Amino acid sequence: MRQPVYLRPPKSSDEREFLASVKKSGALHSPWTLPPSTPEHFRAYLERMSTYENAAFLVFRHADDCLVGVFNITNIVRGAFQSGYLGYYVFAGHERQGLMRKGLEAVVRFAFRNLKLHRLEANIQPTNVASIALVKACGFLQEGYSPRYLKINGRWRDHERWAILAP
């Protein structure tokens, strides 16, 4: 059976749809994330994600090739660690439909099979109930709590630390 979503790396031709989706999703993303919202920021994102230490995935719905969301694996550390940090966001109109869950399942498989990672870690603000539910549903376990962990939208914010290990 065909999956409801597919993943692919972002490319420059995605800029228009990506930026329109970010604009439409401002209220949904605040205060949790600040995706690239200008052509310059999008181009910088593409450049940053094309390095060996990062991997980016756009999530598209199979039925109509509509852009649903984004997953990024950043700060990939090799050697004895084999780990990366997971970030993600859904675009407005696609939340709570199970599409990001299918996308995350595919990203986790890719990270462990293709990137040969041993661990993926997601740091999520405690009030972001939907993001916590997503990682829990995909088998991530809460490992800890990090006060004032990341500066987002000009404020240091607490985060819960969630992780999943390769089978």
Per-residue pLDDT tens over the stretch 2-22 = 789 999 999 999 999 999 999
At 134 the pLDDT is 97
Per-residue pLDDT tens over the stretch 85-134 = 999 999 999 999 999 999 999 999 999 999 999 999 999 999 999 999 99
At 33 the pLDDT is 85
For residue 160, pLDDT beyond 90: yes
Per-residue CA distances from 143 to 38, 58, 92, 117, 127 (Å): 35, 27, 29, 18, 17
Say whether 153 sits in a helix, a strand or coil.
coil
Say whether 17 sits in a helix, a strand or coil.
helix
DSSP per position, 91-140: PTTSTTSSHHHHHHHHHHHHHHHTS--SEEEEEE-TT-HHHHHHHHHTT-
Domains of the chain: 5-165 (3.40.630.30)
